Amino acid sequence: MSDEEKTPKTGRGCLAVFLVLLGAAGAFVGFGLWRTGGWDGFVREYLVKGSLNSVQQRALDVRPDGIAEAEINEAFDEARQAIDEERMDLEALAPKLKEFLEKYKQVKPSNAEMGIFLEDLRGASQ
């Protein structure tokens, strides 16, 4: 017997493990997409709401004294509800969120500026 005949072939086992892992990953992604209502639901549920959560936290961090924390939370809750009910124009919302993060990265907004942002946030719903 030659040395080649004595060595076990492990290539097929690795391929089987890879295919099983690939199938499990596909099932996981498929379940997530099914649960959220397809690709649009996935974008709405994870990407948009994740961005909204991040901006809400930043808005609370830089909140001016004249704006109540409850007012900020209420505006963001209304936006989340509009997203769930598909009344929110996501293309109009994204630039507003980005502008807020860029504009108030180093400075605190005034009462008027925060009020305008909250009204814009509410106004993005259709």
- For residue 52, the model assigns a pLDDT of 92
The 10s digit of each residue's pLDDT in 54-74 is 999 999 999 998 999 999 999
- For residue 16, the model assigns a pLDDT of 82
The 10s digit of each residue's pLDDT in 18-44 is 889 999 998 988 887 777 677 776 766
- Output b/e per residue, 43-82; b: 16+ Cβ within 10 A: ebbeebeebbeebbeebeeebeeebeeeebeebbeebbeb
Question: For 56, what's the count of Cα atoms within 13 Å in the CB-facing half-sphere?
Answer: 19
More confident call, 3 vs 72: 72
The 10s digit of each residue's pLDDT in 87-118 is 888 888 888 899 999 999 888 999 999 999 99
